[in-house]
Amino acid sequence: MHALLRTVFLPILLIGGLALALVVGPMELFEASKYRAWPTVDGSIVHTNINESLGPEGPQFRPVIQYRYQVDGRQYESDVVSSGDAKTFAERSDAEALLEEVSGDGTPLVHFNPERPEQAVLSLESRASAWAILLAGVLLLIGAAWVWRRIRLRAPPPPPQVESTAAD
């Protein structure tokens, strides 16, 4: 078991933890932050709906908002609500609350990419998954440190040095 911990689990924990904590998590956070620098325009709601589907833990409700906006005289249409993950809720009332919050009076504030105006979002919530990935990476690194410490504490002491006394 000792060799298995050292040769299999420890490298997996270290590589996984480092990848999540130093690469994937920060990339996800950077991706979410870039939307905050995008300019905004007023949009107009075309259609709202709540899609219901059956998830692993019961019904899930996803708000859908179709909206239009105009940039430099050209009209665009989108249904991307959040800069983060697609929002799904276990309760219909939560999906309805997000619809109300984002669409408001029918003229939502649209954040659009100035280099590609067809890319737009309505909500700039932080990506919960980015923080979860970062936390998972840190926890994996802590787990790797714990496994390494357990291996070091259980390692048998080195055999005693035997001095040879050869008769000349």
Domain-wise residue ranges, the chain: 4-30+132-154, 37-123
Is the CB of residue 22 less than 8 Å from the CB of residue 136? no
Tell the residue number behind the tokens 């933890």, with chain if given: 17
Band of pLDDT at residue 10, cut at 50, 70 and 90? low
Residue 64 pairs in a beta bridge with: 49
Phi then psi for 3, rounded to 5 degrees? -65, -35
Residue 45 near residue 69, CB atoms below 8 Å: no
User: What are the tens digits of pLDDT across the range 133-162?
Assistant: 667 777 777 777 777 677 666 666 667 777
pLDDT higher than 70, residue 65: yes
